[in-house]
């Protein structure tokens, strides 16, 4: 018996892997767009462009942390 004859416990499904890669790419692009938009806000509005988006994001991040901690 050679290594090529043995079956692995984890078979890779190409469709599932492609779906995971697509989801990961969407998440990465979303984060990059948000960072660029925040950078543009800082460029155009100065210090308020830095802290106002952070203040607005605080309750959103808080709710996300509670959701993740509860497992839902």
- The pLDDT tens digits for 20-71 are 888 999 999 999 999 999 999 999 999 999 999 999 999 999 999 999 999 8
Q: Collapse the DSSP code of 71 into the 3-class scheme (helix H, G, I; strand E, B; otherwise coil) and give the result.
A: coil
In a domain? residue 8: no
Q: Which domain holds residue 58?
A: 16-70
In a domain? residue 28: yes
Asked whether the CA dihedral 39, 44, 46, 50 is positive or negative, the reply is negative
Q: Packing angle between helix 14-45 and helix 47-70, nearest 10 degrees?
A: 150
Name the domain count of the chain: 1
In a domain? residue 10: no
pTM above 0.85, yes or no: no
In a domain? residue 11: no
């Amino acid at each position: 018996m050679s290594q090529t004859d043995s079956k692995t416990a984890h078979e890779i499904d190409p469709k599932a892997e492609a779906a995971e890669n697509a989801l990961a790419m969407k998440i990465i692009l979303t984060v990059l767009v948000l960072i660029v938009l925040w950078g543009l806000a800082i460029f155009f509005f100065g210090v308020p462009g830095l802290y106002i988006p952070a203040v607005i994001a605080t309750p959103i991040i808080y709710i996300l942390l509670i959701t993740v901690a509860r497992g839902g």
